[in-house]
């Protein structure tokens, strides 16, 4: 049977149309050769670059495609995006499952992963799942760097304010004084270095003398140690006891004197005896003065045996 040109043209046209339909649906994430698929919905404020035909996975296994991404037409949810995706298997999960956008590679491609949950009522086609976005490595780094950037900016602003304040404070005179102080500090450090070198040289020059001095000090300490041992071995207890006995006896004597007992006590306490001694002292002083002025009254001698005429007072002479 000969196929006419018209039939061939029709077959080619039908094939092209079928291929176009299949390719169009495949680009939308639908494969006409696969079994019947179930579609679910989720919602995001930002899809992070997710597009139609992005892969949908469950536990890392590809199970479908993203079918469409549309804006929500409800006024109270204006700007939010509704993502419709297909699941081409009979795998069941509950309505508590999560649809999470994640980075499939470092090149920035996004995929949709279903984090299944098996608690509660099972999800039916057309149900909404909770949407989440997983931070990729660049987002994580950006999130961690943003606070650091803010702190760095604050530090820079503070440093700028500090430098401005220092510029206002350090006028020409202050800067000159600061330079002078730094110069003097350098000179002081240099002098201290010279002194340190001199001390080191002095120690080196007198190293032998220092060694002898330390040896002498060691000998002195040994002698003191021997002296300490000698004092410890000496009968210090008896000596201290004798000293205590002597002090006790002296205290008794002082107590007796204070009470007026004995000659010394009476002399200190008896006023009459004190007066008698005072009067006797005065009389003795007068007697000595009289003997010094008139010795003849008390001493009578004659070299030739002549009798003494006796003492003639000044009144009788007159």
Q: Is the pLDDT of residue 205 over 60?
A: yes
Helix axes 271-293, 262-269, angle to 10 degrees: 90
Q: Is the pLDDT of residue 95 over 80?
A: yes
How far is it, in rounded angstroms, from Cα 252 to Cα 96? 109
Q: Is the pLDDT of residue 138 over 60?
A: no
Q: Is the pLDDT of residue 311 over 50?
A: no
Can you give the pLDDT at residue 145?
66
Closest to 131 in 3D by CA, of 64, 88, 69, 63 = 69
**Residue predicted with more confidence, 271 or 88:** 88
Can you give the pLDDT at residue 130?
92
Can you give the pLDDT at residue 317?
47
Q: Is the pLDDT of residue 255 over 90?
A: no
Of the chain, the percentage scoring pLDDT greater than 90 comes to 10
Among the residue ranges 45-54, 267-276, 278-287, the one predicted with the least confidence is 267-276
Burial class (CB in 10 A: 0-12, 13-18, 19+), 105: exposed
**Residue predicted with more confidence, 235 or 282:** 282
> Which residues contact residue 56 at a Cβ distance below 8 angstroms, ignoring those fewer than 6 apart?
62, 63, 64, 65, 66, 85, 86, 87, 111, 112, 113, 114
Q: Which of the four pLDDT bands, split at 50, 70 and 90, describes residue 167?
A: confident
Can you give the pLDDT at residue 22?
65
Average pLDDT over residues 57-71: 89
Can you give the pLDDT at residue 160?
79
Average pLDDT over residues 134-145: 60
Can you give the pLDDT at residue 36?
54
**Residue predicted with more confidence, 69 or 108:** 69
Q: Is the pLDDT of residue 212 over 70?
A: yes
How far is it, in rounded angstroms, from Cα 56 to Cα 40? 11
Domain limits, the chain = 34-134
Q: Is the pLDDT of residue 318 over 50?
A: no
Average pLDDT over residues 226-234: 67
Mean pLDDT of the chain: 78
For the ranges 127-131, 160-164, 218-222, the one whose mean pLDDT is highest: 127-131
**Residue predicted with more confidence, 54 or 305:** 54
Closest to 67 in 3D by CA, of 9, 28, 105 = 28
Can you give the pLDDT at residue 97?
93
Average pLDDT over residues 18-44: 69
DSSP letter (8 states) at residue 111: E
**Residue predicted with more confidence, 112 or 256:** 112
Can you give the pLDDT at residue 300?
57
How far is it, in rounded angstroms, from Cα 177 to Cα 65? 76
For the ranges 141-150, 179-188, 227-236, 306-315, the one whose mean pLDDT is highest: 179-188
**Residue predicted with more confidence, 278 or 63:** 63
Q: Is the pLDDT of residue 31 over 60?
A: no
Closest to 112 in 3D by CA, of 167, 61, 72, 56 = 56
Phi, psi of 73 (to 5 degrees): -90, -5
């Amino acid at each position: 049977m000969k196929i006419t040109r018209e039939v061939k043209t029709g077959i080619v046209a039908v094939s092209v149309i079928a291929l176009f339909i299949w390719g169009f649906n495949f680009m939308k994430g639908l494969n006409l050769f696969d079994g019947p698929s179930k579609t679910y919905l989720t919602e995001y404020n930002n899809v992070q670059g997710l597009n139609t035909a992005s892969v949908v996975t469950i536990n890392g296994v590809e199970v479908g495609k993203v079918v469409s991404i549309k804006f929500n037409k409800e006024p109270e949810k204006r700007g939010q995006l509704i993502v419709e995706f297909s699941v081409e298997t009979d795998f069941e999960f509950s309505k508590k499952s999560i649809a999470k956008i994640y980075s499939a590679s470092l090149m920035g491609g996004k995929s949709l992963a279903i984090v299944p949950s098996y608690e509660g009522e099972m999800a039916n086609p057309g149900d909404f799942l909770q949407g989440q976005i997983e931070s990729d490595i660049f987002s994580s780094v950006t999130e961690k760097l943003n606070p650091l950037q803010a702190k760095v900016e604050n530090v820079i602003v503070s440093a700028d304010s500090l430098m401005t304040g220092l510029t206002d404070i350090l006028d020409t005179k202050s800067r000159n004084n600061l330079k002078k102080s730094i110069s003097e500090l350098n000179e002081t450090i240099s002098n201290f270095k010279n002194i340190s070198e001199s001390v080191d040289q002095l120690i080196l020059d007198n190293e032998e003398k220092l060694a002898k001095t330390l040896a002498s000090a060691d000998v002195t300490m040994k002698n003191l140690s021997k002296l300490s041992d000698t004092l410890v071995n000496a009968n210090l207890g008896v000596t201290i006891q004798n000293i205590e006995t002597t002090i006790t006896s002296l205290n008794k004597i002082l107590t007796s004197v204070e009470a007026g007992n004995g000659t010394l006590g009476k002399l200190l306490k008896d006023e009459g005896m004190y007066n008698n001694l005072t009067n006797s002292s005065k009389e003795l002083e007068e007697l000595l003065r009289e003997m010094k002025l008139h010795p003849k009254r008390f001493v009578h001698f004659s070299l030739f045996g002549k009798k003494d005429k006796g003492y003639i007072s000044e009144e009788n002479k007159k």
